[in-house]
Amino acid sequence: MNTNSKIYIAGHQGMVGSAVWRALTAKGYTNLIGVSSTELDLRNQKAVFNYIATESPIVIIDAAARVGGILANMNSPYEFIMQNMQIQNNLIDSAFQSGVEKFIFLGSSCIYPKLAPQPLKEEYLLTGALESTNEWYAIAKIAGVKACEAIRKQYGKEYFSLMPTNLYGSNDNFDLNSSHVLPAMIRKFHEAKENNNATVTLWGSGTPRREFLYVEDMAEAVVFALENKLPDSLYNVGSGVDLTIKQLAETIQKITGHQGAIIWDNTKPDGTPRKLMDVSKMNALGWKHRVALEEGIQKTYQWFLDNIQYLNKTT
């Protein structure tokens, strides 16, 4: 891949897309393009096709999606399945129709069955029922994975999918109405600390196990995939290490300096009991995560403190 090759990063202002942009820039790539959602609505098929045909990128990295935690998924199932399918279908098909050489589709570990064996291997896809709290988003992402696989199988093009575990880091969403568990905890513990170490109430039992990956590591995985020829169509990207939600809460509590009590609301759903990724395929090719969880949380909390004045104050 030439460092002057035109690369379009869809969703370049989001957490993942902006991290990919930084990683590519650091490696000397000089012809990156991106466009904001106000300038290009990725749900609009005609607009997306026109943009790709006009810009003619060599590579498209799809980091654009409607995302959110359990609450957001439960409250907006139609938007989560329909808008994500519109976004990815428009990007994948316009890329194919315009002759884009390489397409990197970014998904989520929620594509795997709720009760699949652990750790999750790529071949477990479509072998069982999904977790009900986010099946709408998962089904959309599965469709994207299969679309890329179909193009690869039928036309031999380098279209493939990277499935990250739970991501966190700079530029994350800290809005308590729509955020994922880790940034939501950072905000809750910080605000409770500022409120005389008030009690923090968290959803569920704290027993489910989750794996987390610092977003800069994910960006490096994308760069690795860009610069290497991957033999398969689907790869897991993660740390290969998990912990309980209770352990995560205690880690964030320590990093933020909160000294109050934690209450677990067992009336709220836990979600999937465990989601640990088998990342042996990517590791075997030469990519491996570098940032340990506690270090990543410390960096993320510092970013939160540095940007708190700009963040949505909704709680």
**Confidence check: pLDDT of 252 > 90:** yes
Q: Which of 3, 17, 52, 10 is nearest to 169 (CA)?
A: 17
201-205, 247-251, 311-315: the lowest-pLDDT one: 311-315
pTM, two decimals, is 0.93
Instruction: Give the pLDDT of residue 29.
Output: 98
Instruction: Give the pLDDT of residue 141.
Output: 97
Instruction: Give the pLDDT of residue 71.
Output: 77
Annotated binding site for NADP(+): 11-17, 106-109, 141, 164-167, 180
What is d(CA 144, CA 205) in angstroms, rounded to the nearest whole number? 33
Q: What average pLDDT does this structure show over 5-27?
A: 97
What is d(CA 20, CA 25) in angstroms, rounded to the nearest whole number? 8
| Model confidence band, residue 223 (pLDDT cutoffs 50, 70, 90) | very high
Annotated binding site for substrate: 188, 203, 210, 270
Enumerate the active-site residues. Answer: 137
Number of H helices, E strands in the chain: 10, 12
So where are the chain's domains? 7-310
What is the distance in angstroms between the CA of the first residue and the CA of the last residue of the chain?
44
Instruction: Give the pLDDT of residue 181.
Output: 92
Name the percent of the chain lying above pLDDT 90: 88
Q: In what order do the strands lie in the sheet with 158-164?
A: 32-33, 7-10, 59-62, 102-106, 158-164, 234-237
Instruction: Give the pLDDT of residue 312.
Output: 56
pLDDT, averaged across the chain: 95
Q: What average pLDDT does this structure show over 160-169?
A: 96
**Confidence check: pLDDT of 315 > 80:** no
Q: Are 5 and 55 in contact (CB under 8 A)?
A: no
pLDDT in tens, 43-100: 999 999 999 999 999 999 999 998 877 777 788 899 999 999 999 999 999 999 999 9
The CATH code for residues 7-310 is: 3.40.50.720
Annotated binding site: 11-17, 106-109, 141, 164-167, 180, 188, 203, 210, 270
* Cβ-proximal residues to 148 (8 Å cutoff; 6+ apart), any chain: 92, 103, 105, 159, 160, 161, 233
* Cβ-proximal residues to 206 (8 Å cutoff; 6+ apart), any chain: 244, 245, 246, 249, 264
